[in-house]
């Protein structure tokens, strides 16, 4: 068991449904590098688990996930940032968490509380999404200087159109019902009931022949990933995580002040 301040990822299976839970509630489940690596391992475990046909991904405590641990990942040295395969976070390339799947079993995200930055990107990577009506969501990568293009691709792949353009360019906070109307979520649950709603959806999926579900989801993921991978390829050279504007935005956040001036460099 890891130090709880570093966080853990919990895994359990019951009635053909795997529960994967981000467990760092004291920090609103801000993901550490160790947790990101562990999450990849637990998703691989689920993919290979003969006792599970569908998974529900949730967060313990008051939030689903408030993003990456800023002090650990985005305050890293320039050398560490430059060596990272993922511009969004030092360490495991986040976009590979689902693409490495062999069996393509569905993963349902159950969102509540803060769903920010990397946490929102993780949710958008999932196959289905249920969101608490009181959740607070934001593409924090835009004001942070990293660019919201990956979130834009994930939202466009879900058919969110011009609404996605607006929230990714402004980086503003938005709510669950607004996002549902744009087509971002499969369902919005009453406050405090997102996990129960996701589990009910999972039970409905688990009642079907598993190979039928997996093949359907394999095709869905292939089409979904095309735009995301295209944008990742087109933006890989930008290296926004190495710019002075990114450095200033992160420093301002840590120092709890208004960022700027920005230099476009």
145 phi-psi bin (left φ>0, alpha ψ -120 to 50, beta other): left
15 phi-psi bin (left φ>0, alpha ψ -120 to 50, beta other): left
Token representation of residue 253: 């956040």
Distance CA 15, CA 77 (A): 45
Sign of the Cα pseudo-torsion (242, 247, 253, 257, in order): negative
Q: Which of 123, 127, 105 is nearest to 115 (CA)?
A: 123
Distance CA 211, CA 217 (A): 10
Verify whether residue 178 is a known catalytic residue: no
Residues in the chain, total = 265
Residue among 141, 178, 193, 234 flagged as catalytic: 141
* Contact status, residue 110 vs residue 56, Cβ threshold 8 Å: yes
* Contact status, residue 169 vs residue 128, Cβ threshold 8 Å: no
User: How do beta strands 8-14 and 17-23 pair?
Assistant: antiparallel
- Residues belonging to the active site: 141
């Amino acid at each position: 068991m890891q130090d709880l301040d570093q966080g853990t990822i919990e895994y359990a299976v019951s009635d053909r449904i795997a529960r994967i839970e981000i467990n760092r509630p004291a920090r609103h489940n801000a993901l550490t590098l160790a947790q990101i690596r562990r999450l990849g391992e637990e998703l691989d475990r689920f993919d290979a688990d003969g006792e599970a046909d569908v998974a529900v991904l949730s967060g313990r405590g008051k939030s689903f996930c408030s993003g990456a641990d800023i002090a650990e990942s985005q305050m890293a040295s320039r050398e560490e940032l430059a060596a990272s395969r993922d511009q969004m976070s030092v360490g495991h390339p986040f976009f590979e968490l689902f693409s490495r799947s062999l069996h393509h079993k569905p993963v349902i995200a159950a969102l509540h509380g803060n769903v920010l930055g990397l946490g929102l990107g993780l949710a958008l990577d999932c196959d289905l999404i249920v969101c608490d009506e009181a959740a607070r969501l934001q593409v924090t990568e835009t004001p942070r200087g990293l660019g919201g293009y990956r979130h834009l691709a994930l939202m466009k792949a879900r058919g969110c159109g011009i609404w996605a353009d607006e929230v990714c360019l402004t980086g503003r906070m938005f709510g669950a019902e607004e996002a549902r109307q744009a087509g971002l979520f499969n369902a919005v649950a009453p406050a405090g009931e997102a996990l129960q709603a996701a589990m009910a959806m999972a039970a409905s999926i688990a009642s079907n022949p598993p190979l039928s579900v997996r093949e359907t989801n394999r095709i869905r993921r292939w089409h979904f990933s095309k735009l995301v991978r295209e944008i990742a390829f087109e933006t890989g050279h930008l290296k926004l995580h190495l710019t002075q504007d990114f450095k200033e935005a992160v420093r301002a956040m840590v120092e709890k002040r208004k960022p700027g001036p920005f230099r476009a460099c």
